[in-house]
Structure formats: structure tokens, C-alpha cells
Amino acid sequence: MKKTIVALAVMGLGITGAHAQEMVVKIGSVAPLTGTISHLGKDNENGARLAVEEANAKGIMIGGKKVKFELIGEDDQADPRTGTTVAQRLVDAGVKGVVGHLNSGTTIPASRIYDQGGIPMISPSATNPKLTQQGYKGVFRTIANDVQQGSALGKFMVGPLGAKKVAIIDDRTAYGQGLADETEKAAKAGGAQIVAREFTTDKATDFNAILTKIRATNPDVIFFGGMDAQGGPMLRQLKQLGVNAKFVTGDGGCSPEMIKLAGEAISGSAYCSMAGLPLEKMPGGADFRDRFKKRFNADVQIYSPYAYDAASAIIAAMQKADSVEPAKYLPALKASSEPGVTGTVAFDAKGDIKDGAITLYQFKDGTWVAM
């Protein structure tokens, strides 16, 4: 009986035979692998996986031992409760660091578990400012938060786009609403008038009613805080309603998927933002895209470079501290200042990325082009 339990436990924890001369270090990756944004979740996991595999290929030595990093992927279903459960699983599994989660809504409750377990976590995509305001020592993110991104977006709309009248839509998710609120603030501060504030959901497909209402206010720019699955159809409906306002969205819509779903309706007056520098402007950016494509036979969606940078930052901190123990390498992580795919990865006192650069993209020739 006992043997079976142990056997099951081994199976459950997914321990694979580790060689004696090698030290296996587990790194967790959590994102929704099921549900409506699973394509983004998988993208995140792939980003982290690429970093881990490349580190393994390099043959890193820590504390005199050769280290084999192992990525443990978990699915949080974008559900807060499941998020805490899988967080606990990762802590149990003895991961030394975590890349995740994707959504702010799951990351915030999960961060408490990692904090209790003493394990550092870096979210590549959770942008809610509250995440890093909880006072946990080991919580970081490699992406600009909503305040940073929203203010950049707001400034961009009133500045380069010259918006006087702005309409704002959000999808009533923690992400969409948070970003929309910050963007609204910044746009207002920049002197634009918010002519409409409308709402939809992350499951909706018909936006005609709110778009018609917005059309009546005749905005120069429409901002959507939400994901590509809604943003694409929304663009189509805007076109069908004869709305010619510029369309701006955040990182959630800054994906190839968005372009695919919007079809012909996407035009040169569609813009999106992403934290960090654009891939092609990075020395290793285009290279990353190729490596990613080669390894996973998939296009980079949105956050995989951030996940890659997050995983790399953990590994780099371990190297610097010459220890895989969280308590030992955490100071190194806090102090890290490494060039990453998305820019220099360095954190401020709270754990937010320092000088989180925001790059704005415009749709051109079938793809997002950095401006």
C-alpha cells in the first residue's frame, strides 16, 4: 500500500530520474492552458520553456554542480481558485522560482502562496498595479504595469494621434478594466475629452449596440481595453458601422491573432501598445522570433518574450548568487540588470520593471510595426 502511494507520489510530482552529477532545478510556469485565452497561456509557457532549454544547452554550473533546469508547466484556467491550487502544487513540487501567472486576477491571490512558500515569482503579463503593492518581497513582473502602459497610451492618443474626443471600451475583466481606467486618466490629463465609456464582456461577439452609441459621439480615437478575441470582431463591426475613428488597444490586442480575427477590417489606423522594446529593435529580437518559431513551430503571440526574460532573469540571478536557493538568489534578482529580449530587465523597489519601456505599434502591411 505504502509503496503504491510513494509510486503515485513520484508519478504525481513528475519526478524524472535525475543523474547524480547533475542538479535538477525546477522552475514553475503557470498560465491558463485551457479556456478562451489558452493560446496566450501556451505562448507564455513556450517563452519560459525556451529560456530554460537554452540555459540547459549552455550547461550552467551553480555551486560547482552542473544544473539541469526543468520547467514545470501548470494550468490555472485563468480562475483565481485554481490559481491558488496550482500555486500550492508548484510550491510543493519544490520549484525554485515561478514564471506566471498570466492574468492579474489569478496572480494576485497566488502571489500570497508563493510568498508563504518563500518562492520568487515573476509575472510576464499581469499588469494590475496592485500586484506589486502588496508588500511581498519576491513578487516581480517583466512587463510595465497598467499605470505605465495606460499613461503611455493616453499620452500617445492625445499626442501623436491628436485625439480631442476619446471613446473608451473595456471588457469588464480585471485586465481590461484596469488598463482602460488608467488610459482614461492619462487621456483626460492630456486634455482629451472622454465622450463615451462603454462596456462589453470577454465572451461577447456583438458590439454593435455600444459601437453605435459611440459613433453618435463622433470620437477621434476609440480605445479598447481587452483581448484580441474581442478586439478583432470589434474592428470588423466598427467598419461595418462606418466608423472611421482610430482604434487603439493595449497589449492584449497586440497579437497576430488580433490581425487574423479582424480580417480586412484592420487598417493603418489601428494601434496597439506593448511593454518593452519591439522584437526587431532588440539585438536579439528577430533572433528570438526565429528561435521560437523553430522550436515550437508557432508565432510569438504577445507575452512569450516577457516570459522568456522572466525565466532568464531567475536563472541569471541564480548564477550570480551561485545558489539556487530562493533566499540566496533573491537579492541578486532584485538587483538584476540584464539585457533581455524585451529590454533591460531591472526591477524597482516594489518589483515592477524599471523604466518599463512602452512601444507603440501600428498595423502596416499585414502586421504590427513598431512606431
Partner 1 sequence: MNELVSAVPWLGKRNPMAARWLIIILAIAAPMVAMLFGRSWVRILDFALLYMMLALGLNLVVGFAGLLDLGYIAFYAVGAYTFAFLASPHFDVHLPFWVVLPLGAAFAGMAGIMLGFPVLRLRGDYLAIVTLGFGEIIRIFMNNLNYPINITNGPQGINGLDSINLFGWDLARNLQVTEDFSINSLFLYYYFFLACVVGSIIFIQRLQISRIGRAWAAMRDDELAAKAIGINTRNLKLLAFSMGATFGGVAGCLFGAFQGFVSPESFSLMESIAVLTMVVFGGMGNIAGAIVGAFALALLPEVLRDVAVPLQQTLFGHVLLDPEVLRMLLLSLAMILMMLLRPAGLIPARARYAHPENLHRSAAK
Partner 2 sequence: METLIQQILNGLVIGSVYALIALGYTMVYGILGLINFAHGDVLMVGALTALQTMMFLMGVAPGMSPIAMLTIALMVAIPVCMMIGFTMERLAYRRLRNAPRLAPLITAIGMSFLLQTLAMIIWGRNYHTFPQLISTTPMQPIEGVFVTPVQIFIIIASALIMIGLSLLVNKTRIGRAMRATAENHRVASLMGVDTNAVIAFTFVIGAALAAVAGVMFASNYGIAHYGMGFMPGLKAFTAAVLGGIGNLGGAMLGGIVLGLVESLGAGYIEHMTFGFLNSSYQDIFAFIILGLVLIFKPTGLLGERVSDRA
Binding site for partner 2 (CB under 8 A): 34-36, 38-39, 172, 197-201, 203-206, 208-210, 212-213, 215-216, 229, 232-233, 236-237, 239-242, 257, 260-261, 263
Interacting partner of 173 out of partner 2, partner 1, none (Cβ under 5 to 8 A depending on kind) = partner 1
Buried b (16+ CB within 10 A) or exposed e, 271-299: bbbbbbbbbeebeebeebbebbeeebeee
Angle at 292 between CA 303 and CA 28, to 5 degrees: 55
Closest separation in Å from C-beta 298 to partner 2: 12
Interacting partner of 130 out of partner 2, partner 1, none (Cβ under 5 to 8 A depending on kind) = partner 1
3-state secondary structure of 247: strand
Interacting partner of 208 out of partner 1, partner 2, none (Cβ under 5 to 8 A depending on kind) = partner 2
CA distance 68 to 65: 9
Angle at 61 between CA 60 and CA 66, to 5 degrees: 90
Closest separation in Å from C-beta 104 to partner 1: 8
| Cβ nearer to partner 1, comparing 78 with 221 | 78
Closest separation in Å from C-beta 140 to partner 1: 18
| Cβ nearer to partner 2, comparing 82 with 132 | 82
Interacting partner of 14 out of partner 2, partner 1, none (Cβ under 5 to 8 A depending on kind) = partner 1
Closest separation in Å from C-beta 243 to partner 2: 9
| Cβ nearer to partner 1, comparing 53 with 338 | 53
Closest CA to 94 of 66, 70, 75: 70
Q: How far apart are the first and last CA of the chain?
A: 64
Interacting partner of 337 out of partner 1, partner 2, none (Cβ under 5 to 8 A depending on kind) = none
Phi then psi dihedrals of residue 22, to 5 deg: -100, 145
Which residue shows C-alpha cell 536563472? 315
CA distance 60 to 57: 8
| Cβ nearer to partner 1, comparing 12 with 159 | 12
| Cβ nearer to partner 2, comparing 55 with 266 | 266
Under 8 Å between Cβ of 148 and 171:
no
Positions that interact with partner 1 (CB under 8 A): 5-6, 8-9, 11-14, 33-35, 75, 77-81, 84-86, 88-89, 91-93, 104-105, 108-109, 112, 128, 130, 134, 172-174, 176-178, 199
The β-bridge relationship of strands 270-275 and 221-225 is unpaired
CA distance 244 to 215: 9
| Cβ nearer to partner 2, comparing 263 with 268 | 263
Under 8 Å between Cβ of 73 and 29:
yes
Interacting partner of 252 out of partner 1, partner 2, none (Cβ under 5 to 8 A depending on kind) = none
Closest separation in Å from C-beta 321 to partner 2: 39
Cell of 353: 520593471
Burial of 216 (0-12, 13-18, 19+ CB in 10 A): exposed
Closest separation in Å from C-beta 249 to partner 2: 16
Interacting partner of 109 out of partner 1, partner 2, none (Cβ under 5 to 8 A depending on kind) = partner 1
Interacting partner of 357 out of partner 2, partner 1, none (Cβ under 5 to 8 A depending on kind) = none
Closest separation in Å from C-beta 300 to partner 2: 15
Cell of 361: 505599434
| Cβ nearer to partner 2, comparing 259 with 316 | 259
3-state secondary structure of 173: coil
